[in-house]
Chains A and B, each alone.
Chain A
Amino acid sequence: MMRRMLLLLALLAAPTAAAGEDVTIFTAPGTERHVLTLDTATDLAAFQPLILAFQREEPDVTIRYREMVTNTLFERVRQECADGRRNADLVITSSVDHLVVLANEGCARAHRSAETLAAPAWTRWRDEIFGFTFEPAVIVYNRALMAREEVPRTRLALIELMREQPVRLAGRIGGYDIARSGIGYLFAAFDARNALVYGRLIEGFGRLNLVTRCCSGDLIQELAEGRLHLAYNLLGSYAYAAQRQGAPIGIVLPEDYVLVLSRGAMIPVRGGEPALARRFLDFLLSPRGQKVVREEAFFFDVSGAVPEGVEAAAPVLDAGNIRPIVIGPGLLPMQDRARRIRFLREWAKAIERSPAGE
């Protein structure tokens, strides 16, 4: 009911900020001829340079940017698809497993162009989902609270650190609330493929009362303000953006393995402006768009170059070290109902165990 209300408001093009949904309108710099509606689970701060760059190429396009958390976005698009209601023109989210489920159920429109075909194979599926960023999961720490040398470089080192300094770090380690953060869930699910390390890791998190937050922004802010010593598996792109803006944080690319996410874009079947959405998508994937992605928006790119200020072992982004989250049917079990419930239950059980209970 609430959602219907929101949709109604959105259809009336009333610039509004309702709960769970922030709408920002980028009015066409020139004469407005088209309106492109983006439903995203991406920080506006990161995405804005891309929108502005696109509007420089097509000044007659007004862009409505609706931002929401990944799970909300997923439920919304899925419901629209099932009910046959109108979608946004383009959906952008870091939870690519959501997009895979949507495309699998036939909620996506295919698009093939020179730009899409030039993208690496692991970043696209069925010509329906297109990854356009390269974002590693990183360990972020507060430089004032932790010396660079004591920051763990591997997961085993992190487990070790948590065991050695339980008092200092209790309530000082942050992470995504994977029940609410799609990207947190995705990273955790991929970590869980290393069952032994993963088990010890969340056991450690449980002992030290992991601080869980829905979103990268909150965690980064708390790190910057010194309320957290360290956060695990944050999106490197957001952390790097904060670091660039002066936040006193350090960023570490894990040396055992680096999970890499390619943020996904999808054209839903019932978007009103498919041609415009395709142009926007091609722009994202084009060399011009990728330049903006690399320099202003997400700071990493497929080349694997590590931006200045990020701590990494020399050949850290060698192929053997990277574990890309391959966009494809392999992501379907991430959203398996039974699996998800069990995974979240086990995670919650481990996290919420009090240190005294040990």
Chain B
Amino acid sequence: MTGAGPSLFRRLVLVITLVFGLAAAGLGSAAWIYARIAADEAYDRLLVGAALQIAESIATEPGAVTVDPPNSAFETLALAPDDRIFYRVTDPHGTHLTGQEDLVSALDGTPLGRMPVMADARYRGFPVRIVTLGRYVTGPGIAGWVEVSVAQTRLARLALARDLTLKSVLLVLGMSLLALVALVVAVRLALRPLSQVESAIAARDPKDLRPVAIAAPREIGTLIASINHFLGRLAARIGGMERFIADAAHQMRTPLTALLAQIDLLSAETRADLRRAQIARIRERAEQLGRLTSQLLNHAMVIHRREVVALTPVDLVPLVRAALAETVPLSLDRDIRVGFEAETESLVVMGDPVSIREVIGNLVHNAVRHGAPGLIAARIRAEAGRALVEIADDGPGIPPESWPEVVKPFTRLGVEPAGSGLGLAIAADVMAAHGGTLGFARRADGHFAVLLAFPLAEAGTVPLRLAEAAA
């Protein structure tokens, strides 16, 4: 665990609250703008209605225009009960007929006509909304437009706009709150399987590496699957190590006991020639023990690498060639030909060069030790999407009935004393780690062959230089 990071829950809630807050603020501003427009539209209708009613009351007498503002006009405007009302009627000559003589007109350069013109203005220090419209009169001695302006303060508009805004903001806040609550509940529900996993694992015996069995939603399911996969690997690895340690201890104990016995014999031996022979045997035993130890360590290393080393692009051709050259002993008691044959210039697989080299080495060792009379041949080819490495020798090989057995650790054929019986097991392990297989074959020419099949890397993968890969 990497310490207690910030709470996932708190972070989620914080982000959502922020988003909702911003959204509510934005919606609130929009609501205010729309509410003002709506309030203006609603009350503009009243204002125009009142102006029209006043205009309707305009009549002509000989030489004069008369106007009789009807009660209904003011009752219409009184629907905004607290607002001040101002109005002015001017005849075609510009003579003031009634109302406030100093009231401004809504006309701003536009010619006076039947269509009402609206404007915002200040009158006597009050912010007002003004409508101005005209009425064309003709009569004896008079003809032209009578101008009617009606103004009203903005209290009712403001109150309506505030009311509308408040209601929509309350609605938005209510929705946000609801969503937030729903979210909190949802997040808590969603996170519950996590705490179940947590308590299930916390409550476990440290030796219990069985998979965690908890019904969980799909999103959490992958996490549980990963945990279970990890637990499986851990269990397998610990099991393998336990087995390996038990086997290794057992394997080490036998030659050590034999060695001690021979040393006892040596101390009791008085004859010089027999002593020499005894020392030679002890030496042989010690070498055998050294090989065993080295192979056990190799095996441990290979197992370790399988778990921890990431696979890299590896070109098998130079790798196998180098491993072959390293492994074949320079001096042998017999003359063995070593052949190397590659069908292509390079063959790239995803692999761990160190492990692969170890495998090749083991196989060549086996061939040398188990009596290839005169030939060890390595061949590399690509076949059916796989890279095949074949290590063949002209020795007796392993009988087919033993093939399944020999890949298990510490299996030796017959009474061969020199081998540890680990080589093929290591090779099989490595191949499994590479997603490949280890196989055996009796070739048409009678040679026995071990086949390593690797999956090919994707086309175009460039291998690391061998030196780097080996480093």
Contact = CB atoms under 8 A, between A and B. Distances in A.
Interface stretch (A24-32, A244-252, A299-307, A331-339): A331-339
A333 B69 contact: yes
Given A193-B71, A330-B74, A336 B82 contact: no
A223 to B, nearest CB: 32
B124 interface: yes
A287 interface: no
A106 to B, nearest CB: 6
B99 A125 contact: no
B407 interface: no
Nearest to B78: A329
B70 A106 contact: no
Contact of B71 (A104, A105, A330, A342): A330
A72 to B, nearest CB: 22
Contacts of A332: 74, 85
A335 to B, nearest CB: 10
A11 B125 CA distance: 29
B74 A338 contact: no
A104 B85 contact: yes
B247 interface: no
Given A336-B99, A337-B98, A106 B68 contact: no
B82 A125 contact: yes
A105 B68 CA distance: 21
A105 B78 CA distance: 15
Interface residues of A, number: 18
Contact of A328 (B70, B81, B86, B126): B81
A330 B75 contact: yes
Given A104-B84, A104-B86, A329-B83, A338 B69 contact: yes
Interface in B77-102: 77-78, 81-86, 89, 97-100
Which interface residue of A125, A329, A337 has the most chain B CB atoms within 10 A?
Answer: A329
Contacts of A331: 74
Contact of A338 (B71, B85, B86, B97): B97
B127 to A, nearest CB: 12
Contact of B73 (A103, A106, A333): A333
Q: Is the interface of A mostly helix, strand, loop or mixed?
A: helix
Contact of B67 (A103, A329, A338): A338
A126 B156 CA distance: 12
B294 to A, nearest CB: 103
Which interface residue of B83, B97, B98 has the most chain A CB atoms within 10 A?
Answer: B98
Contacts of B81: 125, 328-329
B66 interface: yes
Contacts of B66: 338, 342
Interface string B186-208: 00000000000000000000000
A330 B78 contact: yes
A339 B85 CA distance: 16
A342 B68 contact: yes
Nearest to A343: B68
A123 to B, nearest CB: 13
A332 B69 CA distance: 10
Contacts of B89: 338
Nearest to B65: A338
Nearest to B98: A338
A342 B99 CA distance: 14
A331 B81 CA distance: 12
Interface in A91-150: 103-106, 125-126
Contacts of B68: 338-339, 342
A333 B66 CA distance: 15
Contacts of A329: 74, 77-78, 81, 83-85
A95 B217 CA distance: 80
B122 to A, nearest CB: 12
Given A106-B124, A328-B78, A330-B78, A336 B69 contact: yes
B69 A106 contact: no
Interface in B103-141: 124-126
A125 B99 CA distance: 20
Contacts of A333: 69-71, 73-74
Interface string A317-358: 000000000001111110011110010000000000000000
Nearest to A121: B81
State the 7 A-B residue pairs at the shortest beta-carbon distance, nearest first. A338-B98, A329-B78, A337-B98, A104-B84, A126-B82, A330-B78, A336-B69
11 contacts: A106-B124, A106-B126, A329-B77, A332-B74, A332-B85, A333-B69, A333-B73, A336-B98, A338-B66, A338-B89, A339-B69
Interface of A: 103-106, 125-126, 193, 328-333, 336-339, 342
Given A330-B75, A333-B74, 19 more contacts: A104-B84, A105-B124, A106-B84, A106-B124, A106-B125, A125-B81, A329-B78, A329-B81, A329-B85, A331-B74, A332-B85, A333-B71, A333-B73, A336-B98, A336-B99, A337-B97, A338-B89, A338-B98, A342-B66
